[in-house]
Structure 1
Amino acid sequence: MRFLVKLAASTVGVLCTTASAYLLVDEKKRYGVVFAATVVQSPTDSNIDLVKPDQQLISTPIRSNERWNWNWDGRHSEMSKSRVVRHIYLVRHGQYLTRTKFEDQKQLTELGNEQADWAGRALVESKISFTRFVQSGLIRAIQTASIINKYLKFKKIEQDIDLNEGFPFLPEPAGRFADDVAKGRLELETDRMERAFHRYIHRPPPTQTEDSHELIVCHANVIRYFVCRALQIPADAWLRFNLFHCSITHLVFTADGRVICYGIGDVGHVPQERRSIRRPSRDQEQQQQQSVTA
């Protein structure tokens, strides 16, 4: 015999009313939820702690000014009906020493080495058959890629200095250092990153017969710029988000020119207490420099 059992209602906090659920029970003692609901009341205008924004000034959803550009990579004429896709995995390097003017001394910290090792473990445990491995020309990216490759075991890692860190585009809103960077070399930086973008970020060619999985170890500004360009988000928005060290950003490109972002800055493979997003403290850098010279 089947019958309904109503669970006792309970009060959930001061903002919630009662929550009720009905279970369907049959002769075999199998349970199934028939109905469950929680009703949340809106705060009243009498709540003195409630912030009341000016309704005339509050922002509204923004629509794209332009439709999707299907020829964004200049390869629309090569479009095929193939269902193969290109997967691009953009990995930021690990934490590194920053208080030096010489690029070859901006090497990974001990924490940066650990982060790269965690990234390598995650990539090999994913069971993905990577088809290409590229690194920038800066020492922190080279070291990160080398540690990752202990797990992936590529015979050769390609290197491209166009993937080096830089200032890709004058951001909006501007960062605290935008004016200094914009003096003189901004156009050169943009041109370089545009070259790298079109070299690596595009739909699969007509000759591709299987899905590809390409790994690129580079830098936060490069990755942020690539994401904005690939998703046709305004390029000056790149500074509005940041990336943890050794985080993984996953972009997918279809033959007809669609772009799908599967994740930006995924850092779930690095333990919470070992994550970092900015440079180490001055004391940490001094300690590591002393240990290296000892």
Structure 2
Amino acid sequence: MHIFIKLAATTIGVACTTASAYFLVDEKKRYGVLFAANIAQTPNDNSNDLIKLDQQSLSCPIRSSERWNWNWDGRHQDMNKTRVVRHIYLIRHGQYQTKTKIENEKQLTELGNEQADWAGRALAESNISFTRLVQSGLIRAIQTATIINKHLRFNKVEQDIDLNEGFPFLPEPAGRFIDDIAKGRLELETERMERVFHRYIHRPFPNQTEDSHELIICHANVIRYFVCRALQIPADAWLRFNLFHCSITHLVCTFDGRVICYGIGDVGHIPQERRSYV
């Protein structure tokens, strides 16, 4: 049975125009009889509730303030001609001890060890030929990388202290962070974050002949900042999303300067009841 579903968009603000669209949907063909029946039984939507809102105050979709910068990594003139890509997997460390101010005591909890093991198993079972493993210099990342590497068996694990956790950029909204920075309780480390971002996030080298798959075990703030910078999203947006422990964020850098995010904070490899982010 075919039915028409009417979608009406009420005028929102001066920049948004009234629009309506009709879509022909064959529920039996696309969704099956049971799902079609569920559609028929769904209560009326709350579209009329929009009338109660201050329509002048509702936001509209916005475009990027700047066009895509094809030379964002400073390597456009050395563009690889072989069309290879770099796959970069940013993995947050496992849950760790937080009731201490001594860095070397911030070691993985029992749960954190389990999370790292699940991540390692998932990476090994993916049958991807990973080409590089890098860890930050903090104990929780080192322990996470060690457990993951039990499944991957890298002969060489690189360590980079520039990947250590830090406060990359003043977020928007800034909240209490403005006072923390002004009073010296918090240090902005944008220079270091920029340095390490360009060290690891860039298009393939001109002499690269095959796709690469690189693993970086680091920290939530670093990963979120990298994602914003790589996708050319305003850097002050980094605190607007969160990452579970041992989640996997997958970026792809193409030969011509495109960056595609295949997933942010994927934790499908960790059972629901064993996930954590603090």
Q: TM-score range by the shorter chain?
A: 0.7 to 0.9
- Relative to 1, partners in 2 of residues 1:186 and 1:203: Cα closer, same or farther, differing over 3 Å? same
Structure 1 or 2: larger helix share? Answer: 2
Decide whether the 8 Å contact of 1:76 with 1:256 is kept in 2. yes
Query: Where does structure 1 lack aligned partners over 5 or more consecutive residues?
Result: 1-5, 10-18, 24-31, 279-294
Decide whether the 8 Å contact of 1:175 with 1:239 is kept in 2. no
User: Is structure 2 residue 231 aligned with structure 1 residue 231?
Assistant: yes
| Count of residue correspondences | 249
User: What residue is the counterpart of 1:285 in the other structure?
Assistant: none
- Give structure 1 regions of 4+ aligned residues with deviation exceeding 3 angstroms: 19-23, 36-45, 175-178, 181-187
User: What residue is the counterpart of 1:43 in the other structure?
Assistant: 46
Decide whether the 8 Å contact of 2:133 with 2:157 is kept in 1. yes
Mapping 1:194-233, distance limit 5 Å? 194-233=194-233
Decide whether the 8 Å contact of 1:100 with 1:106 is kept in 2. yes
> How far apart are the structure 1 equivalents of 2:245 and 2:47?
43
- Relative to 1, partners in 2 of residues 1:44 and 1:199: Cα closer, same or farther, differing over 3 Å? closer
User: What residue is the counterpart of 2:180 in the other structure?
Assistant: 180
User: What residue is the counterpart of 1:117 in the other structure?
Assistant: 117
> How far apart are the structure 1 equivalents of 2:87 and 2:65?
28
> How far apart are the structure 2 equivalents of 1:118 and 1:146?
13
Q: How far does the alpha carbon of each residue in 1:78-106 deviate from its partner, in whole angstroms, 9 at most, with x for none?
A: 11332100000000000000111110000
Q: How far does the alpha carbon of each residue in 1:123-170 deviate from its partner, in whole angstroms, 9 at most, with x for none?
A: 000001110000000000000000000000011110000000000000
Decide whether the 8 Å contact of 2:80 with 2:208 is kept in 1. no
Scaled by the length of structure 2, what TM-score is found?
0.83
User: What residue is the counterpart of 2:154 in the other structure?
Assistant: 154
User: What residue is the counterpart of 1:94 in the other structure?
Assistant: 94
User: What residue is the counterpart of 2:257 in the other structure?
Assistant: 257
CA deviation after TM superposition for structure 1 residue 178, in Å? 4.7
- Relative to 1, partners in 2 of residues 1:227 and 1:20: Cα closer, same or farther, differing over 3 Å? closer
RMSD: 2.5
Q: Secondary structure, in 3 states, of the residue corresponding to 1:262? A: strand
User: What residue is the counterpart of 1:248 in the other structure?
Assistant: 248
User: What residue is the counterpart of 1:54 in the other structure?
Assistant: 54
Q: How far does the alpha carbon of each residue in 1:34-82 deviate from its partner, in whole angstroms, 9 at most, with x for none?
A: xx7957754374x7xx783210000111110100000000101111332
> How far apart are the structure 2 equivalents of 1:57 and 1:169?
29
- Relative to 1, partners in 2 of residues 1:183 and 1:167: Cα closer, same or farther, differing over 3 Å? farther
> How far apart are the structure 2 equivalents of 1:112 and 1:276?
9
Decide whether the 8 Å contact of 1:167 with 1:181 is kept in 2. no
Question: Given residue 161 of structure 2, which amino acid in structure 1 is its aligned partner?
Answer: I
Decide whether the 8 Å contact of 2:245 with 2:276 is kept in 1. yes
User: What residue is the counterpart of 1:273 in the other structure?
Assistant: 273
- Relative to 1, partners in 2 of residues 1:82 and 1:140: Cα closer, same or farther, differing over 3 Å? same
CA deviation after TM superposition for structure 1 residue 119, in Å? 0.3
- Relative to 1, partners in 2 of residues 1:171 and 1:140: Cα closer, same or farther, differing over 3 Å? same
Decide whether the 8 Å contact of 2:80 with 2:204 is kept in 1. no
Mapping 1:67-86, distance limit 5 Å? 67-86=67-86
- Relative to 1, partners in 2 of residues 1:143 and 1:71: Cα closer, same or farther, differing over 3 Å? same
Question: Given residue 164 of structure 2, which amino acid in structure 1 is its aligned partner?
Answer: N
- Relative to 1, partners in 2 of residues 1:220 and 1:20: Cα closer, same or farther, differing over 3 Å? closer
Question: Given residue 43 of structure 1, which amino acid in structure 2 is its aligned partner?
Answer: N
User: What residue is the counterpart of 2:12 in the other structure?
Assistant: none
Question: Given residue 256 of structure 1, which amino acid in structure 2 is its aligned partner?
Answer: D
Decide whether the 8 Å contact of 2:251 with 2:263 is kept in 1. yes
- Relative to 1, partners in 2 of residues 1:245 and 1:181: Cα closer, same or farther, differing over 3 Å? farther
> How far apart are the structure 2 equivalents of 1:44 and 1:225?
37
User: What residue is the counterpart of 1:130 in the other structure?
Assistant: 130
Larger radius of gyration: 1
User: What residue is the counterpart of 2:7 in the other structure?
Assistant: none
Q: How far does the alpha carbon of each residue in 1:177-230 deviate from its partner, in whole angstroms, 9 at most, with x for none?
A: 45314555645x111111110000000011000000000000000000000000
Question: Given residue 237 of structure 2, which amino acid in structure 1 is its aligned partner?
Answer: A
Query: Where does structure 2 lack aligned partners over 5 or more consecutive residues?
Result: 4-24
Question: Given residue 229 of structure 1, which amino acid in structure 2 is its aligned partner?
Answer: R
Q: Secondary structure, in 3 states, of the residue corresponding to 2:206? A: coil
- What percent of counterpart residues are identical? 78
Q: Secondary structure, in 3 states, of the residue corresponding to 1:56? A: helix
